[in-house]
Amino acid sequence: MALINLKDLLKHARENKYAVGAFNVTNLGFIDTLIAAAEEQRSPIILQIAEVHLRYVDLEEIAPIIISAAKKVDIPVCFHLDHGQTLQTLMRSIRAGFTSVMFDGSHMPLEENIAATKEVVKIAGAVNVSVEAELGNVGGEVIGEVAPTAHAASKELFTNVSEAKRFVKETGIDALAVSIGNVHGFYKGDPNLDYERLSAINSAINIPLVLHGGSGISDDDFKKAISLGICKINFYTEMSAAAVARVKNYLINEKPDVTSIPDVIGRAFEEVKNVVKKRLEVFGSKDMCAPEKTLCFSCSDSVCGFTDPKFRPGAQTVLYEDIVNQITNEVISSIKNKNK
């Protein structure tokens, strides 16, 4: 059983100074591709579905497929809702078995963001589902637009250090997404990450930090950001663009007379796998599931030789059926007590 929540996963990443890659799933083909890439690298991985991408995949239909694929492998897989916008979608995700959710109230005034995020933490925490939230605002393209344009980050939307401290303390979130010059989609010019701010945020709060908009950031920048507290990196546009480029090349130069659709789609996911494997290496998570490392906790059969109980995950995520049973039992016992 390799399904794990974000809190348990990032605890190990933070203590061992690496980041876990979080890759967006917009099609069934990503599931096996991403998990295979992580397996080959002996790395943990996060498969995430963004609320804006629910126009591509059906949440209730794809969730059991991801959960079943994750349970088959001996690497830790976190199943995460990316940029959850409404309580309805968050509840649907928790009910479908996501082990982690992001509530994105970054467009709200601070007080409203705190109040709404706090509510989400209360609900998700009751069933051991982790919560990521965002403060400041990571701008850019709605992830994976059909006709993308490049964006530059705007400084007014950067995360404020003292607000971050207050936000984390009052909401009780498990991970904080920061805005430090990162944007979603393609960057206009080179990304210019504000490391001073990142370092100050990292010193002010003691939970893992998340970097959205990973596409276009250089290997050196990733490494520096990880050294300053980034433990989760969101990545989508670059792998999508690389897959499209690979298909174009295949159709135009390699096999113009191809008629097999699985053959063409296979080229796309071959490229996704290449890109993801390289990122996992840069993020420092490669070989974290090797026998001499401590992350083997996710394998119930301990095939990787996990020894350190410090990183053992907490209680399992509770699925919807369990909650219904729990509530039913409580109602029955309360009726019984009343009738005594």
Q: Which residues are catalytic?
A: 82
Residue 45: strand pairing partners: 77
Binding segment (CB under 6 A) for ligand 13P, from list 108-116, 124-132, 233-241, 256-264: 233-241
130 lies in the site for ligand 13P, by CB under 6 A: no
143 lies in the site for ligand 13P, by CB under 6 A: yes
Residue 21: strand pairing partners: 233
Q: Which of residues 178-217 bind ligand 13P (CB under 6 A)?
A: 184-185, 212-215
What single string gives the DSSP state of each residue in 129-193?
Answer: -EEEEEES---BSPTT-SS---B---GGGSPPHHHHHHHHHHH--SEEEE-SS--BS-BSSS---
298 lies in the site for ligand 13P, by CB under 6 A: no
Min CB(302)–ligand 13P separation in Å: 33
Binding segment (CB under 6 A) for ligand 13P, from list 56-64, 163-171, 197-205, 228-236: 228-236
Inter-residue contact 209 to 165 (CB < 8 Å): no
Binding marks (x or -) toward ligand 13P, 247..286, rule CB under 6 A? ----------------------------------------
Number of residues that bind ligand 13P (CB under 6 A): 16
Helices and strands in the chain: count of H runs, count of E runs: 11, 9
CA–CA separation, 304 vs 287, rounded Å? 11
* Helix or strand holding residue 37 (H, E): helix 29-41
Min CB(23)–ligand 13P separation in Å: 9
Q: Which residue has the tokens 């420092």?
A: 284
Min CB(104)–ligand 13P separation in Å: 9
* Residue of the chain from 30, 167, 236, 250 that contacts ligand 13P (CB under 6 A): 236
In this complex, which beta carbon is closest to ligand 13P, that of residue 83 or of residue 267? 83
Min CB(55)–ligand 13P separation in Å: 15
Tell me which residue of 327, 315, 307, 82 sits closest to 214, measured CA to CA: 82
* Residue of the chain from 89, 234, 285, 298 that contacts ligand 13P (CB under 6 A): 234
* Residue of the chain from 235, 250, 269, 283 that contacts ligand 13P (CB under 6 A): 235
In this complex, which beta carbon is closest to ligand 13P, that of residue 140 or of residue 313? 140
Joined together, the tokens standing for residue 235 give 């990545």
Min CB(48)–ligand 13P separation in Å: 7
Give every CB contact of residue 101 below 8 A, 6+ residues apart in sequence: 80, 81, 84, 90, 93, 94, 120, 124, 129, 130, 131, 132
24 lies in the site for ligand 13P, by CB under 6 A: yes
Joined together, the tokens standing for residue 213 give 């908009």
Give every CB contact of residue 219 below 8 A, 6+ residues apart in sequence: 282
237 lies in the site for ligand 13P, by CB under 6 A: yes
Min CB(17)–ligand 13P separation in Å: 21
Give every CB contact of residue 223 below 8 A, 6+ residues apart in sequence: 282, 284
In this complex, which beta carbon is closest to ligand 13P, that of residue 53 or of residue 92? 53
Q: Which of residues 77-116 bind ligand 13P (CB under 6 A)?
A: 82-83
Tell me which residue of 29, 21, 92, 35 sits closest to 234, measured CA to CA: 21
In this complex, which beta carbon is closest to ligand 13P, that of residue 96 or of residue 241? 241
CA–CA separation, 294 vs 296, rounded Å? 6
Inter-residue contact 80 to 46 (CB < 8 Å): yes
Binding segment (CB under 6 A) for ligand 13P, from list 106-114, 154-162, 232-240, 292-300: 232-240
For binding to ligand 13P (CB under 6 A), which residues are involved? 24, 50, 82-83, 143, 184-185, 212-215, 234-238
